[in-house]
Structure 1
Amino acid sequence: MNVLLYVLGFAAAFAVSLILTPFVKRFAVWVGAVDAPNHRKVHTRIMPRLGGVAIYLAFAASFLMMIPALDGYKANAAWAVLLGGFIIVVVGALDDKMELSPKVKLLGQLAAALIVVFGFDLKVDFVNIPFASSQNLGEWLSIPLTIFWIVGVTNAINLIDGLDGLAAGVSAIATATTLVMAVMMGNVTVIVLCALLLGSILGFLLFNFHPAKIFMGDSGSLFLGFSLATLSILGFKQATLVSFVVPLLVLGVPLSDTFFAIIRRILNRTPISVADKSHLHHCLLQLGFSHRSTVLLIYGIAIFFGLSAIVLSQLALWISLIALPILILALHIGAEAIGIFSKTRKPILNLLRKAGIKTSQFIGTRLMK
């Protein structure tokens, strides 16, 4: 398979998404699948949802168009994304229209994950442990781990869908990063699927970037999360270096935001399922950044995570093991600085400030002498 075919697939997905999105927008308004403003949301007017339907249809249509030319790819992997994604999109679209309960949405996500695992036998088979050989995982561990990963990433993308173009742009960056990694590893299946998904997202993003004309809704955020989770299993289950960390970095923005949200709600003694206005994008808006600047800044963070994943995958193991703790510490400091954990609890920043004062006093005393 040559590069031209990948480019044509990307272009086809982009074009179909670009054409379908305006029709989906009208359909969303017609069926009443709209998003009304409230105290948690930043938009001030009713917006059509169901953008995820356009993304999915563009992805599926471009894949079906490419089937005759595809060679050397795993068909079961593609159908896992399509069929599991169909369930996710249907559940998400129903939620966009009538707001399903969290339990019903979770059941839909579990059904899609089970299709991937049992219907197409796609799961995390082993884990690479530093300075040791790969450890095979028995089904008793690999199956629940895979289901947990798919459901977790699916919901992580959903949590960051709070500003125009945010979830779509971050998902596009994660997809592009996965595409680059797949090219480096020669994984034809992931290259094809990433090229199609990326084109579908970018075609929709033209209508979704601030000021948005349509929202992706749960149909979009859940489908993108599901797709990225499945593609990461396909792309990194056989990575030779830090195979567990690389997909975490690729999805660094949504996963870290989800992790911080869980910690924040534990610290505040509130239920984990209760929504709040302290996510990354909320904190940046509260610091005075504009809507567009906030989205672009988070794009930059996502690109940094993506580049870190690519670089770490190529570094010697001992260098990666040194770089990872530094990266995690920097992430934690940044989270404390913007108040994503708490507006008052900032232990590491307080420690650094105290250390800085002592250092300044020491330097001043030495200069006086």
Structure 2
Amino acid sequence: MLYGIAAAAATAALLLTAVLTALLRAPARRLGIVDRRRQRTVPQCGGIAVAFVTCLVAAAGEWTGVAPLDGGVRELLVAGAAVAALGLVADVRRVKARLLVGGTALAAAWVVPYGELGFGGGVLAAGWIVFVAVGFKALDHADALAGTVAVVTAFGVGVLAAAEMMDGLAALLSVLAAALTGFLMHNRPPARAGLGSCGALFAGFVLASAAVVTRTGHEPASSAGVLFSLTALAGADVVLVLLSRRLAGRPLLRGGPDHLAHRLRRLGLTSCGATVVLGVGAFSGVLVAVLAHLGWVAGSGVYWVAAGALVVVLGLLRVQPYAPRRPVNTQVRAQLRVRNG
């Protein structure tokens, strides 16, 4: 009975998100809520639809009593909505990165179960939630990539929640996965709508927070491995970008064509091909995490995921994403010294 209700709610979320995303495309263009990708502009309205519909369907289930949310799930959803609102502000106007990170950290600190994890474990869990949320925001640089990885991760975390008999959380994740699928109807290459900071931060935050909740009470080391495997692709993208910019002497927070999908395209893959390859990589990590959580594979299986992520990062680090700097001749240097006194 419960799974039938969850399926109906997920279907409603998929259809509502698909329709709302289409309706918001024109207003987003008029308001300038767009992102430029390869000489074209993409309205960043999909995230608004995903966050709004997910919260709406979940709230409707709670209000009608058909699919009530547990206390912890309710707090998680409220915190996720706050993160989505912060992301929407960033989509509408320029917001400093530290404000986004700080706001997400406050929301994460609110939902972390300190009673079971302890203060130190709670701080680490909150930091990991922020890292994953930022990682999903970074993935929203290529058509269909962030949405695909989020859908795969949502199904994986939903299986973990169902295995732990957390029915309310499993229902919420199914609704989120369905809403993201409805958004992907407009996000397949060439994308007609993007997630934006609103949707990417919301999806990453909810998924990471739900994963922490499902692993609460398990052995810390194995939990760390499962959580890493669930979001290995987003983590690998962040590490690759930070290492690349550090080695190149570029500002860490300045955008650039140095993400996983960018480098795969430089190796000859099409935009769709890069998304498929990365989607398969995300699925592989999620599958190992689910099997490890269910006890069907040894916990050491996550080491293979870590090794694979390390190989990918080191291998793609050799792909040069930046244009070579133009040398400055001696005469220009002399003129600059004269101008600068």
Q: What TM-score, normalized by structure 2, do the two folds share?
A: 0.85
Partner of 1:349: none
Partner of 2:324: none
Whether 1:324 and 2:320 are equivalent positions in the alignment is no
Q: CA deviation at 1:304?
A: 0.9
Query: Aligned residues, how many?
Result: 318
Q: CA deviation at 1:259?
A: 2.1
Whether 1:342 and 2:318 are equivalent positions in the alignment is yes
Whether 1:69 and 2:65 are equivalent positions in the alignment is yes
- Residue identity over aligned pairs, in percent, reads 21
Q: CA deviation at 1:159?
A: 1.0
Partner of 1:12: 12
Q: CA deviation at 1:222?
A: 0.9
- 1: distance between equivalents of 2:115 and 2:226? 14
Query: Structure 2: which amino acid aligns with 1:149?
Result: W
Query: Structure 2: which amino acid aligns with 1:330?
Result: G
> Of the candidates 225, 231, 235, which is equivalent to residue 204 of structure 2?
225
Q: Per-residue CA shift, 1:195-251, capped at 9, x if unaligned?
A: 111111111111111111111111111111111111112222134682221121111
Query: Structure 2: which amino acid aligns with 1:234?
Result: V
Query: Structure 2: which amino acid aligns with 1:342?
Result: R
Q: Tell me, which stretches of 5 or more residues in structure 1 are unaligned?
A: 127-136, 345-369
- 2: distance between equivalents of 1:33 and 1:310? 37
Secondary structure of the 1:43 match is coil
> Of the candidates 100, 105, 127, which is equivalent to residue 100 of structure 2?
105
Q: RMSD over aligned Cα, in angstroms?
A: 2.3
Secondary structure of the 2:258 match is coil
Q: Tell me, which stretches of 5 or more residues in structure 2 are unaligned?
A: 321-341
> Of the candidates 148, 158, 168, which is equivalent to residue 147 of structure 2?
168
8 Å Cα contact 1:172-1:198 kept in structure 2: yes
Q: Per-residue CA shift, 1:236-290, capped at 9, x if unaligned?
A: 2134682221121111110121122233334334443233322111110000100
Q: CA deviation at 1:72?
A: 7.0
Whether 1:264 and 2:244 are equivalent positions in the alignment is yes
Q: Per-residue CA shift, 1:35-80, capped at 9, x if unaligned?
A: 2x3xxxx432122113211001110111122122346751x22322
Are residues 53 and 343 of structure 1, via their aligned partners in 2, closer, same or farther at CA, if it must alter by over 3 Å? closer
- 1: distance between equivalents of 2:208 and 2:190? 29
8 Å Cα contact 2:229-2:305 kept in structure 1: no
Comparing 219-228 with 184-193, greater Cα deviation is found at 184-193
8 Å Cα contact 1:154-1:225 kept in structure 2: yes
- 1: distance between equivalents of 2:115 and 2:267? 40
- 2: distance between equivalents of 1:277 and 1:71? 43
8 Å Cα contact 1:124-1:145 kept in structure 2: no
Are residues 221 and 252 of structure 1, via their aligned partners in 2, closer, same or farther at CA, if it must alter by over 3 Å? same
8 Å Cα contact 1:55-1:220 kept in structure 2: yes
Secondary structure of the 2:185 match is helix
Q: What TM-score, normalized by structure 1, do the two folds share?
A: 0.79
Q: CA deviation at 1:188?
A: 1.1
Partner of 1:53: 48
